[in-house]
Structure 1
Amino acid sequence: MGHDISGYNKAGEEIAYARFSMGNYNAIILYSLLDSNNYYAGVSGSGGSSTFSRLQIEKALNDYNQLFNNNNSLSEKDCLPWDQKQILNFILNCLATAQKEESVKVYFG
């Protein structure tokens, strides 16, 4: 059991992935940043998915930066703790797709 959260472009290709064990509290942070707590099912995601606009992903990135007081350059992100880096990379990959396609689909498994 665990949380496997994936982002997909409009072609259905996986463009982002984050994995958290069932007891890892950092999973809740990603659900919260995406305003998707309703997909959190305790030991894993609910199996549902949602489509996010570019603005929603930008908000998630802004909230991430506020939560972690992150004003670091992208080159400094390599020094972040593993899960914090994983969350940031997930959001950034989703944002890159949403900027090109105006939205991104996220699956919460």
Structure 2
Amino acid sequence: MGHDISGFNNTGEEIAYARFSMGNYNSTILYSLLEANQFYAGVSGSGKSTTFSINQLEKALNTYNQLYGNGKSLSERDWDLKQIQDFIQNCLANAQKEGRVNVYFG
């Protein structure tokens, strides 16, 4: 069990991935930034997918930068914060090319 969150382009190719163990509550940071708490199912994702727009992903990245991007160090979360940032940035880059990105919450 765990949270395997994947972003896919319009052809179904995986373009972003984030993994959290079932006991790692840092996964809730990503769900919250994406405003996708309805896909959080405790020890894993809900197994459902949704589509995010450029605007939604820009908002998530802006919020991330406000909360974590100004040199604030949370040492036990550094790895998770980096993968969250990478996930959002990769999804945003794809959405800027294709207009949207599909995200699966497993």
Q: What interval of TM-score do these two structures reach, taking the shorter chain for normalisation?
A: over 0.9
1:93 is aligned to: 90
| Percent identity (aligned) | 72
Deviations 1:17-73 (A, max 9, x none): 0000011111000000000000000000000010000000000000101111x147x
> Hey, which bits of structure 1, 4+ residues long, moved more than 2 A?
none
* Structure 1 residues not aligned, in runs of 5+: 73-79
Residue 82 (1) aligns with residue 69 (2) = no
> 97, 103, 108: which is aligned to 2:105?
108
Over aligned residue pairs, what C-alpha RMSD do you find?
1.2
Distance 2:89 2:6 in 1: 13
Once the two structures are TM-superposed, the CA of residue 89 in structure 1 deviates from its matched residue by 0.3
Q: Which amino acid aligns with 1:105?
A: N
Count of residue pairs brought into register by the alignment: 101
Distance 1:67 1:46 in 2: 26
Distance 1:5 1:103 in 2: 16
Distance 1:49 1:34 in 2: 13
TM-score, length of structure 2 as denominator length: 0.92
TM-score, length of structure 1 as denominator length: 0.90
